[in-house]
Amino acid sequence: MRLFVLIFTLLFAPPAVQAATLADYSFDEPGKAEDFRDIIEEMRCLVCQNESLAGSNAELAIDLRNEIYEMMKSGQEKEDIINFMVARYGDFVLYSPPLKPTTYPIWFGPLIVFLVGGVVLFRILKRKSVARETELSAEEEQRLNRLLNQSNDHRDADQ
Amino acid sequence: MNRYLRYSIPLIVFAVIAAFLFKGLGMNPREIPSPLIGKSVPEFALPTVESPDTIVKTSDLQGKVYLLNVWATWCVSCRAEHETLVQLSRSGKVDIVGLNWKDERDKAQVWLRQLGDPYSINIFDKKGRTAIDLGVYGAPETFLVDSKGIIHYKHAGPMTMQLFNETLLPLIEDLKPKG
């Protein structure tokens, strides 16, 4: 139980490294610190591609954090900073790709697959339920009665 | 619907997914398409590796087709490609401009003395600010720039003779003034 609690706590503990690196950046205006954190968490570190700029300790990530910090200090908006980064490193630097024709497959692909799957599933289910509820034709009705009577006759005979 | 066709749908779906995954296996995640292709070399004014007093500006580089090679003494792959750069420079097929990235000046000078200096100009970017403008995310990186200062190609990773002869040389021939 104690081990479980420990693992559970560690799972939800905020990464310590991140907290340490971000402590160096302070802003006078309220809200700016949150904006700064949002921006660097949305950007990919290009050296270690599975880390954000916020989480990475690669030298380039540190330089880029400083650069973004300076830009924010000089009053530039989030949009300016994103444009600055994309102009240099491409859309790759963004964790969530922008919506444009070349990225339509990523954005709408899953939805399309889901809809197609849903239609197929719906049709299969519908066909099955229709088959189950079909009423017997006159001919089948007769055959059913004949079979039922037959088996009853047999049973009578056995007794 | 034809029965055989219907049963082959899962197979087709599988084949399509497998084809995409197989393609992905052969791709290099380090090769990030540069948004700077077709754009100008960013503005800068930096000293050279040789002297803190000599300032090189973007406009000083115009008028010739050249390779812009990002390098540093702390970069192991740069050492690996250095011999290729020296050979290229000696062959006279292309001019090479160096961008020394986040390095120590004395170390860079020793490196060039010991291994040979393939660079016609060697820019000293101590802070790495121009490298950020170039979208550099590792060393070595090599850009092909035309005489008007437009970037035409970018390679991330060590330069090889094969890459130069097969990819860069045809591009360079196209960019050189005809006549």
Higher per-residue confidence, A11 vs B43: B43
Closest by CA to A94, choosing from A108, A109, A105, A79, is A79
A67 interface with B at CB cutoff 8 Å: yes
Domain CATH code at residue B125:
3.40.30.10
**For residue A44, what are the β-bridge partners?**
A52
* Predicted confidence band of residue A141 (pLDDT cuts 50, 70, 90): confident
Tell me the residue ranges of DSSP E strands in B29-94: 45-47, 55-57, 66-71
- For chain B, the average pLDDT equals 92
User: Could you give the number of structural domains in chain B?
Assistant: 1
Contact B73, B102 (CB under 8 A): no
Q: How far apart are CA B108 and CA B127, in angstroms?
A: 15
Q: Is residue B61 part of a domain?
A: yes
B132 interface with A at CB cutoff 8 Å: yes
Q: Is residue B164 part of a domain?
A: yes
Q: Is residue B10 part of a domain?
A: no
Residue B62: how many CB atoms within 10 A of its CB? 16
Across the interface, whether the CB atoms of A86 and B35 are under 8 A apart is answered yes
Amino acid A20: pLDDT: 47
Q: How far apart are CA A18 and CA A59, in angstroms?
A: 15
What is the H or E stretch that residue B123 is in?
A: strand B121-125
- Host domain of residue B62: 35-175
* Predicted confidence band of residue A10 (pLDDT cuts 50, 70, 90): low
- Which class for B162: exposed (0-12), middle (13-18), buried (19 or more C-beta within 10 A)? exposed
Q: Is residue B165 part of a domain?
A: yes
Q: Which residue of B has its CA nearest to A83?
A: B35
Contact B35, A88 (CB under 8 A): yes
Minimum-distance CB partner of B137 among A67, A87, A89:
A89
* Predicted confidence band of residue A156 (pLDDT cuts 50, 70, 90): low
* Predicted confidence band of residue A19 (pLDDT cuts 50, 70, 90): very low
Using a pLDDT cut of 90, give the percent of chain A over it.
28
pTM of the complete model = 0.75
* Predicted confidence band of residue B146 (pLDDT cuts 50, 70, 90): very high
Degrees to nearest 5, angle at CA B37 with B35 and B42? 85
Q: Is residue B91 part of a domain?
A: yes
* Predicted confidence band of residue A149 (pLDDT cuts 50, 70, 90): confident
Higher per-residue confidence, A7 vs B65: B65
A46 interface with B at CB cutoff 8 Å: yes
Ramachandran angles phi, psi of A102, nearest 5°: -70, -20
Instruction: Determine the distance in angstroms separating the CA of A89 from the nearest CA of chain B, rounded to an integer.
Output: 5
Model confidence at A109: pLDDT above 70:
yes
Q: How far apart are CA A87 and CA A90, in angstroms?
A: 6
Which of A3-17, B69-83, B130-144, B157-171 has the lowest average pLDDT?
A3-17
Among B16, B37, B75, B132, which would you mutate to test the A interface (most chain A Cβ atoms within 10 Å of its Cβ)? Answer: B132
Model confidence at A5: pLDDT above 90:
no
What is the H or E stretch that residue B121 is in?
A: strand B121-125
Contact B98, B121 (CB under 8 A): yes
CA distances from A19 to A14, A50, B41 (A): 8, 18, 37
CA atoms within 13 A of residue B73's CA, in its CB half-sphere: 16
For residue A137, what are its two tokens?
Answer: 């034709």
- Which class for A131: exposed (0-12), middle (13-18), buried (19 or more C-beta within 10 A)? exposed
Contact B145, B61 (CB under 8 A): yes
Amino acid B158: pLDDT: 94
Q: How far apart are CA A51 and CA A80, in angstroms?
A: 22
> Which DSSP letter does residue A97 get?
-
ipTM: 0.80
For residue A54, what are its two tokens?
Answer: 């916020």
Model confidence at A17: pLDDT above 60:
no
* B129 chain-A contacts, CB cut-off 8 A: 67
* B44 chain-A contacts, CB cut-off 8 A: none
Ramachandran angles phi, psi of B155, nearest 5°: -120, 125
Contacts of residue A98, Cβ cutoff 8 Å, sequence gap at least 6: A91
Mark which residues 11-30 of B lie under 8 Å from A by CB.
29
Minimum-distance CB partner of B137 among A47, A67, A86:
A47
Q: How far apart are CA A21 and CA A65, in angstroms?
A: 10
Minimum-distance CB partner of A63 among B128, B134, B135:
B128
Q: Is residue B99 part of a domain?
A: yes
Contacts of residue A37, Cβ cutoff 8 Å, sequence gap at least 6: A22, A54
Minimum-distance CB partner of A67 among B33, B34, B132:
B132
- Which class for B142: exposed (0-12), middle (13-18), buried (19 or more C-beta within 10 A)? buried
Contact A33, A25 (CB under 8 A): yes
Q: Is residue B103 part of a domain?
A: yes
pLDDT in tens, B82-121: 999 999 999 999 999 999 999 999 999 999 999 999 999 9
- For chain A, the average pLDDT equals 83
Q: Which residue of A has its CA nearest to B135?
A: A88
Across the interface, whether the CB atoms of A88 and B32 are under 8 A apart is answered no
In chain A the domains, ranked by start, together with CATH numbers, are: 14-97 (1.10.8.640), 102-158 (no CATH)
Model confidence at A21: pLDDT above 80:
no
Q: Is residue B30 part of a domain?
A: no
pLDDT in tens, A70-104: 999 898 999 999 999 999 998 889 988 888 888 88
pLDDT in tens, B39-77: 999 999 999 999 999 999 999 999 999 999 999 999 999
Can you tell me the mean pLDDT for A23-33? 80
Residue A124: how many CB atoms within 10 A of its CB? 10
* A64 chain-B contacts, CB cut-off 8 A: 132
